[in-house]
């Protein structure tokens, strides 16, 4: 068994986890069980991030989606549902299928046929690998020259990227989060 095949098997398993989780969301009879399936789906997607060599993002996905958003959802279910309650059966499903299936077909066709202009790059090498000065400038615009060109890890590069290229978006998101938090408290309190 080659590493290639192992990777493909891992992908299959993770894809199956995330898709079956999503399927469970729409098939479960109770809202609470739906939420549990949703969590399974989140975990599967985190695994796919690991396969895409975005380890930091995978951890953040688990931390935010599984550890926070799911908990919010579960809390909301507990606060709004009769605990024993069963969800109503899905309404308007034929119409929804009519919309979703062509939509799925369209996206799938696009995924197959589009020219994605793939590139064969590898993600940054291990933290601390020594690189040339030119590479340092190319890979990340923000490494000060006096740091001796030890390549920082992906997390450091992400941080630099957030604080340089994407600074405006970063600040806007921060403000949005603050406003959302205050707003949520104002809305939800008696």
Least distance CB 145 / another protein (angstroms): 16
* Residue position matching structure tokens 């996206």: 107
What angle, rounded to 10 degrees, do the helices at 70-80 and 31-51 form? 180
- CA nearest neighbour of 151 among 163, 139, 169: 139
Nearest approach, Cβ of residue 183 and another protein (Å):
6
Residue with smaller CB distance to another protein, 111 or 145: 111
Residue pair 30/86 in contact by the 8 Å Cβ criterion: yes
Identify which of 38, 40, 62 has the alpha carbon closest to the alpha carbon of residue 49.
62
Q: In angstroms, give the least distance from the CB of 16 to another protein.
A: 9
């Amino acid at each position: 068994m080659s590493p290639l095949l192992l990777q493909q098997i891992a992908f299959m398993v993770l894809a199956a986890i995330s898709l079956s989780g999503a399927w469970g969301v729409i098939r479960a009879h109770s809202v609470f069980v739906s939420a549990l399936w949703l969590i399974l789906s989140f975990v599967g997607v985190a695994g796919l991030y690991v396969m895409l060599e975005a380890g930091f993002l995978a951890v953040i996905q688990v931390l935010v989606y599984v550890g926070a958003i799911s908990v919010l959802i579960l809390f909301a279910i507990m606060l709004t549902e009769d605990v024993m309650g069963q969800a109503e059966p899905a309404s308007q499903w034929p119409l929804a299928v009519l919309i979703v299936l062509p939509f799925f077909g369209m996206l799938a066709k696009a995924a197959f046929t589009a020219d994605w202009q793939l590139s064969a790059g590898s993600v940054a090498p291990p933290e601390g690998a020594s690189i040339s000065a030119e590479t340092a400038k190319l890979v990340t615009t923000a490494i000060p020259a006096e740091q001796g060109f030890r390549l920082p890890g992906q997390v450091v590069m992400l941080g630099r990227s957030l604080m340089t290229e994407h600074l405006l978006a970063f600040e806007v998101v921060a403000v949005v989060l603050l406003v959302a938090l205050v707003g949520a408290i104002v809305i939800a309190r008696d």
